[in-house]
């Protein structure tokens, strides 16, 4: 596949009334001061929250773009990785804010992947009961999923994202150039969330992914622009309908119930989040087939796409009961009963109560196949 024109800058609005904001998608946005204009009074202070890997690459460029908009720009590099997505790390953000005399009008900029975005967003949600923040996602996973929608939080040893808040960013700035420095393993992990939004909400995007997996893996800029824009557009629509996940938004958890069990069971950080979601989608699609909501051929198409994108297909070996235990801690569970997002044909999904026995049967079939 080839594209003849260079990708245009695009704006995707997220319609949330008083909390509405824009997602800007394009090249070279990070260095352009205008990207960050029109949001805050210029006597306010800014803190860039990033990590030890991303900070050295991009923080100075972001700081330069921000200086015209703020009285001061500080920076904090957190340790990298899901294992550090804890309350203890968030407390470091509070310490820096307070020592720097931050106030209620201070602004946090989350520069990095989903872990940085979730923690900086949660710090912004809680500091002085809420200060503004801006997402500047630099991984594909954060660009297509975690930076949009206002879910923030940290992990607990017993479960992922157990402690958190809904706190919408004031803007999301996606500079596609930052993907140039992304390790291939993380690029692939990000593609899992693209497969997810396609599987639950956009059959045409799913068809497109089947046709263009190679272009994505070799980082064709236009192909990446296409999936980032499409994912943001779908996510914005779902979040605009149901900000606090009381209904439809739950479909974005497809692959995540078993995925979270994989992450927690293997120790956070062993599997990348997207890898666990990729494997989780195949298993939850198999559960959808078992419960009569998805056809065998559709499960095969999902398995094929996940595999073609080089995502792991084999679930880690651990006792079925341990999977179930972690799944019962899932935020969608009610009174100890599992609820899982099931596909209802490709491009459609809904949250359903499921029996432990059905989940166990699917897991057992998978784990003995290896």
CB nearer to a copy of itself: pick between 53 and 94: 94
Minimum CB separation of residue 11 from a copy of itself in Å reads 27
CB nearer to a copy of itself: pick between 156 and 219: 156
Count the Cβ atoms, other than its own, within 10 Å of residue 355. Answer: 11
Minimum CB separation of residue 146 from a copy of itself in Å reads 14
Cα torsion 194, 225, 239, 41: sign: positive
Residue 7 carries which DSSP code?
A: P
Minimum CB separation of residue 58 from a copy of itself in Å reads 27
For residues 9 and 132, what is the distance between their CA atoms, to the nearest angstrom? 24
Minimum CB separation of residue 124 from a copy of itself in Å reads 11
CB nearer to a copy of itself: pick between 129 and 218: 129
Minimum CB separation of residue 163 from a copy of itself in Å reads 5
CB nearer to a copy of itself: pick between 126 and 367: 126
Two tokens, residue 160: 């992922």
CA 27 to chain centre: 20
Two tokens, residue 343: 């596909």
CB nearer to a copy of itself: pick between 40 and 206: 40
For residues 131 and 12, what is the distance between their CA atoms, to the nearest angstrom? 23
CB nearer to a copy of itself: pick between 40 and 58: 40
Minimum CB separation of residue 279 from a copy of itself in Å reads 24
Helices (H), 169-267: 184-201, 203-217, 221-241, 256-266
For residues 134 and 170, what is the distance between their CA atoms, to the nearest angstrom? 5
Question: How far lies 249's CA from each of 23, 160, 205, 228, 257, in Å?
Answer: 18, 18, 19, 19, 14
Question: How far lies 188's CA from each of 35, 154, 241, in Å?
Answer: 28, 23, 29
Q: Residue 209: CB partners within 8 Å, gap ≥ 6? A: 194, 195, 198, 216, 227, 305, 309
For residues 300 and 358, what is the distance between their CA atoms, to the nearest angstrom? 19
Q: Residue 286: CB partners within 8 Å, gap ≥ 6? A: 299, 362, 365, 366
CB nearer to a copy of itself: pick between 13 and 130: 130
Residues engaged in binding a copy of itself (CB under 8 A): 43-45, 71, 87, 91, 94, 98-99, 101, 103-105, 125-130, 151, 153, 156, 158-159, 161-166, 244, 328-329, 331-336
Q: Which of 319, 357, 312, 363 is nearest to 338 (CA)?
A: 357
The answer to whether 281 and 196 are in contact (CB under 8 A) is yes
Minimum CB separation of residue 326 from a copy of itself in Å reads 11
Question: Which residues are annotated as catalytic?
Answer: 129, 151, 193, 235, 245, 249, 253, 256, 260, 273
For residues 199 and 247, what is the distance between their CA atoms, to the nearest angstrom? 18
How far from each other are the two terminal CA atoms of the chain, in whole angstroms?
A: 35
Residue 19 carries which DSSP code?
A: G
CB nearer to a copy of itself: pick between 91 and 297: 91
Minimum CB separation of residue 45 from a copy of itself in Å reads 7
For residues 324 and 73, what is the distance between their CA atoms, to the nearest angstrom? 46
């Amino acid at each position: 596949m080839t594209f003849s024109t260079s990708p245009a800058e695009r704006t995707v609005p997220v319609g949330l009334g008083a909390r509405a904001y824009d997602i800007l998608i394009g090249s070279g946005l990070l260095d352009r001061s205008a990207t960050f204009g029109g949001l805050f009074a210029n006597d306010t202070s800014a803190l860039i929250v990033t990590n030890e890997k991303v900070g050295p690459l991009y923080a100075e460029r972001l700081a330069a773009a921000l200086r015209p908009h703020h009285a001061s720009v500080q920076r904090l590099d957190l340790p990298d990785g899901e294992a550090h997505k804890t309350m203890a790390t968030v407390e470091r953000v509070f310490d820096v804010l307070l020592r720097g005399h931050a106030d209620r009008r201070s602004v946090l900029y989350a520069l990095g992947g989903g872990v940085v975005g979730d923690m900086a967003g949660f710090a912004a949600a809680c500091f002085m009961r809420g200060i503004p923040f801006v997402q500047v996602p630099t991984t594909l996973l954060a660009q297509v999923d975690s930076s949009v929608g206002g879910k923030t939080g940290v992990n607990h040893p017993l479960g992922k994202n157990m402690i958190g808040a809904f706190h919408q960013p004031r803007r999301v700035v996606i500079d596609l150039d930052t993907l140039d420095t992304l390790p291939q393993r993380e690029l692939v992990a990000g593609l899992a969330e693209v497969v997810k939004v396609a599987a639950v909400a956009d059959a045409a995007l799913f068809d497109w992914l089947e046709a263009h997996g190679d272009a994505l893996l070799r980082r064709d800029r236009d192909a990446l622009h296409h999936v980032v824009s499409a994912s943001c557009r779908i996510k914005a629509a779902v979040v605009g309908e149901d900000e606090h996940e009381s209904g439809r938004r739950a479909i974005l958890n497809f692959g995540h119930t078993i995925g979270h069990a994989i992450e927690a069971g293997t120790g956070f950080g062993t599997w990348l989040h997207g890898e666990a979601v990729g494997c989780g989608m195949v298993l939850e699609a198999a559960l959808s087939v078992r419960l009569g909501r998805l056809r065998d051929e559709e499960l095969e198409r999902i398995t094929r796409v996940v595999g073609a994108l080089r995502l792991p297909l084999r679930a880690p070996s651990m006792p079925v009961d341990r999977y179930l235990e972690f799944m019962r801690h899932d935020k969608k569970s009610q009174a100890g009963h599992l609820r899982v997002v099931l596909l209802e044909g490709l491009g459609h999904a809904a949250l359903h109560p499921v029996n432990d026995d059905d989940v166990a049967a699917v897991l057992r079939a998978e784990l003995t196949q290896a």
